Chains A and B, each alone.
Chain A
Amino acid sequence: MNYMWATVIVIICTGMAALLHPFFNISDLALVYLPGIVLVASRFGRGPSVLASCLSVLALNFFFTQPYFTLFVENPRVVLTLVVILLVALVISTLTTRTHEQADAAQRAAVQVETERLRNSLLSSVSHDLRTPLAVVTGALSSTLEGWQMLDDLTRIDLIQNAYDESERLSRLLTNLLEMTRLEAGGLTVRKEWQPMEEVVGAALTRLESRLRDRLISVDLPPDLPLVPLDAVLIEQVLLNLLENALKYTPTDAPISISAVAVGTPQPTCIQVTVADRGLGLMPGDERSIFEKFNRGTLPSGGGTGLGLTICQGIVCVHGGQIWAERRSEGGAAFMFTLPISGVPPRVDLEPEPRREEDFA
């Protein structure tokens, strides 16, 4: 394939040289071929560029030296010119290929350094984030065990509850880490199916039930919201992460709202989901940076890995949607994401065949 491109480029150069031939001599025409050879060398590597060099000299010889349309050359000076052109072409192609390879190697090295840096910061971040809840679990349980006689029931329950809450946090941290690893390794399989958004929102709220019990949550999903092709497990994770952030960064009496609207007329082209809170909001400039890995924003940290939003972004991206954050003018933060409605929605024939049983309606 690459050799074919080399040949094609030489043919194009020959065409251009033919147009210029009446006005220039052989060594000037050779200059027309050199950019072609550089192009082949930089794009297709060494072999094709050597082929292009040889073909160029043969073409010069065949079409543009007297006698025309033979490979025979009368004038010894022209022979010398052709040999020099061949050498120059070969040197240029070698140099270009080498520069190109070095650039590639430099880029690979840079990526490696970056990966290494990320791995180190991941390790230090992870070991810190895992150790904190683990320390609470160990501490709370050991005080309960060792001080059993001295402690009253309420204190014991409080300590055990504390250990339990922290072990749940540990589990959530691990889930996010695992998800991140899968996203990065490209090992995330997306199983999109047409579903109502309400069901995914419901699943996320059910999973967070115990932690949302004392919170004011409003859900606003229009009844005519169309079905959306999505992976329920992954989009649930997006909602979980957004809701957990809202829980973590807002006072307990601040309301949280979830809403969705269909966008586009006459047929909706996507739906936009919003998770908004009335907490401290975002600092100016944080709207973008909070989506970066290990970034927890400039406000006091809620003790996460700083991976939640990065995961959200990754998942929304593989769905072909977008995610962004806004500061609400009346206070608080809002996180929005879109999910495109691509393809033809499946038909739903309501109540198609109720013959075996009588209708209760």
Chain B
Amino acid sequence: MSSPQQTILLIEDELPIRRFLRTSLIGNGYHLVEAVTGREGVQMTATVQPDCIILDLGLPDMDGLEVVRTLRGWTQTPIIVLTARGQEQDKIALLDAGTDDYLTKPFGVGELLARIRAALRRSSQAQPELRDLLFQVGQLRVDLAMRQVFIDDDEVHLTPIEYRLLSTLVHHAGKVVTQHQLLREVWGPEYAGAVHYVRVYMQHLRHKLEADPARPAYFITEPGVGYRLRAD
């Protein structure tokens, strides 16, 4: 569990969803404040200064993308968006606008808590001296200081690009990273448009690091959007 009484702002107009999230989040030790409209949410972000924002996209007064853009004008507080299925292009637009992550309705509380933990972890990493230099999930261990990768105790040798791709995913562990973001961060702007590189190298990583590459345990594909390195 993360440190006690971190504040989460929930911007959601549907009462049943607020009710269910209230029980789950308070039950898991978070302090919860609620807003019913986009405008109210933006105001409360300024007054309450939450550690994390959960934003529903179907608000009556403001478009979700507009809320994200407004907030990103002056705050870096992590934003997790609740969306409906089948809107992959919208999800990419939201992520490009600065959303940290999304959850597709219907979702389980376990998923939501994992997203919140990942978001809070990253925002506390904003100061580089706090950054964890050792990443571990399951049997996969990445030593960012020594640039070494292990499965259990066996070191796995990666090519430079494979390592850069892996370390980028580790840096965003638990959070979805779009294909274009990976392309930009790992290959650089001159490779824009060559998205298949990301896919081919993700396949390499899976073949080197997954026990069964066709049933990945660490490198999860979010079809149409990007990838997520499982963090817990």
Chain A residues in contact with chain B, CB under 8 A?
Answer: 167-168, 171, 175, 178-179, 191, 193-196, 198-203, 205-206, 217, 219, 221, 223, 227, 231-233, 236, 258, 346, 348, 351, 354, 356-361
Is residue B135 within 8 Å, beta carbon to beta carbon, of the partner chain? no
On whether the beta carbons of A360 and B147 are closer than 8 Å, the reply is yes
**Nearest-CB distance from A153 to chain B (Å)?**
18
Q: How far is the CA of A356 from the CA of B160 in the complex (A)?
A: 9
Segment of B8-16, B40-48, B117-125, B192-200 in the binding face: B192-200
Please name all residues of chain B whose beta carbon is closer than 8 Å to the beta carbon of A194 when the two chains form the complex: 196, 199
CB proximity to A under 8 Å, residues B168-199: 194-197, 199
Place the interface of chain B in its size category: 20 to 34
**A196 interface neighbour in B157, B164, B203, B223, Cβ under 8 Å:** B203
Chain A residue, CB-CB nearest to B223:
A232
**B85 interface neighbour in A175, A193, A354, Cβ under 8 Å:** A175
Total cross-chain contacts (CB, 8 A): 91
Is residue B221 within 8 Å, beta carbon to beta carbon, of the partner chain? yes
**A202 interface neighbour in B85, B158, B221, Cβ under 8 Å:** B221
Quick one: given A199-B199, A201-B214, A219-B214, are A359 and B159 in contact (CB under 8 Å)? yes
Chain B residues in contact with chain A, CB under 8 A?
Answer: 85-86, 88, 106, 147, 157-161, 163-164, 194-197, 199-200, 202-203, 206-207, 212-216, 220-224
* 27 A-B pairs (CB sep. < 8 Å): A178-B85, A191-B224, A195-B199, A198-B206, A198-B213, A199-B199, A199-B221, A200-B221, A201-B214, A202-B206, A202-B213, A202-B215, A202-B216, A205-B214, A205-B215, A206-B215, A206-B216, A231-B224, A232-B223, A258-B214, A348-B197, A351-B161, A354-B161, A356-B160, A360-B159, A361-B157, A361-B158
Please name all residues of chain B whose beta carbon is closer than 8 Å to the beta carbon of A199 when the two chains form the complex: 199, 202-203, 221
Please name all residues of chain B whose beta carbon is closer than 8 Å to the beta carbon of A357 when the two chains form the complex: 160, 163-164
Chain B residue, CB-CB nearest to A356:
B160
**Nearest-CB distance from B71 to chain A (Å)?**
28
On whether the beta carbons of B160 and A233 are closer than 8 Å, the reply is no
On whether the beta carbons of A354 and B215 are closer than 8 Å, the reply is no
Q: How far is the CA of A167 from the CA of B20 in the complex (A)?
A: 15
**B220 interface neighbour in A206, A346, A356, Cβ under 8 Å:** A206
Please name all residues of chain A whose beta carbon is closer than 8 Å to the beta carbon of B213 when the two chains form the complex: 198, 202
**Nearest-CB distance from B149 to chain A (Å)?**
8
On whether the beta carbons of A361 and B159 are closer than 8 Å, the reply is yes
On whether the beta carbons of B157 and A202 are closer than 8 Å, the reply is no
Chain B residue, CB-CB nearest to A348:
B200
On whether the beta carbons of A232 and B224 are closer than 8 Å, the reply is yes
Please name all residues of chain B whose beta carbon is closer than 8 Å to the beta carbon of A205 when the two chains form the complex: 214-215
Chain B residue, CB-CB nearest to A207:
B223
Chain B residue, CB-CB nearest to A193:
B195
Q: How far is the CA of A84 from the CA of B215 in the complex (A)?
A: 81
Please name all residues of chain B whose beta carbon is closer than 8 Å to the beta carbon of A346 when the two chains form the complex: 194, 196
Q: How far is the CA of A231 from the CA of B225 in the complex (A)?
A: 11
Please name all residues of chain B whose beta carbon is closer than 8 Å to the beta carbon of A354 when the two chains form the complex: 159-161
Q: How far is the CA of A356 from the CA of B64 in the complex (A)?
A: 40
**Nearest-CB distance from B183 to chain A (Å)?**
12
**Nearest-CB distance from B164 to chain A (Å)?**
7
Please name all residues of chain B whose beta carbon is closer than 8 Å to the beta carbon of A359 when the two chains form the complex: 159-160
Q: How far is the CA of A199 from the CA of B228 in the complex (A)?
A: 13
Chain A residue, CB-CB nearest to B210:
A202
**Nearest-CB distance from B221 to chain A (Å)?**
4
**B223 interface neighbour in A221, A233, A358, Cβ under 8 Å:** A233
Please name all residues of chain A whose beta carbon is closer than 8 Å to the beta carbon of B221 when the two chains form the complex: 199-200, 202-203, 206, 232
Q: How far is the CA of A200 from the CA of B221 in the complex (A)?
A: 8
Q: How far is the CA of A348 from the CA of B191 in the complex (A)?
A: 11
Please name all residues of chain A whose beta carbon is closer than 8 Å to the beta carbon of B216 when the two chains form the complex: 202, 206
Q: How far is the CA of A198 from the CA of B214 in the complex (A)?
A: 6
Q: How far is the CA of A58 from the CA of B157 in the complex (A)?
A: 88
Q: How far is the CA of A258 from the CA of B223 in the complex (A)?
A: 19
**Nearest-CB distance from B131 to chain A (Å)?**
19
Please name all residues of chain B whose beta carbon is closer than 8 Å to the beta carbon of A236 when the two chains form the complex: 223
Please name all residues of chain B whose beta carbon is closer than 8 Å to the beta carbon of A171 when the two chains form the complex: 106
Quick one: given A201-B214, A202-B221, A219-B214, are A360 and B160 in contact (CB under 8 Å)? yes
On whether the beta carbons of B88 and A219 are closer than 8 Å, the reply is no
Please name all residues of chain B whose beta carbon is closer than 8 Å to the beta carbon of A351 when the two chains form the complex: 159-161
**Nearest-CB distance from B20 to chain A (Å)?**
12
**A178 interface neighbour in B86, B159, B212, Cβ under 8 Å:** B86
On whether the beta carbons of B223 and A360 are closer than 8 Å, the reply is no
Chain A residue, CB-CB nearest to B197:
A348
Please name all residues of chain A whose beta carbon is closer than 8 Å to the beta carbon of B159 when the two chains form the complex: 351, 354, 359-361
Q: How far is the CA of A346 from the CA of B196 in the complex (A)?
A: 8
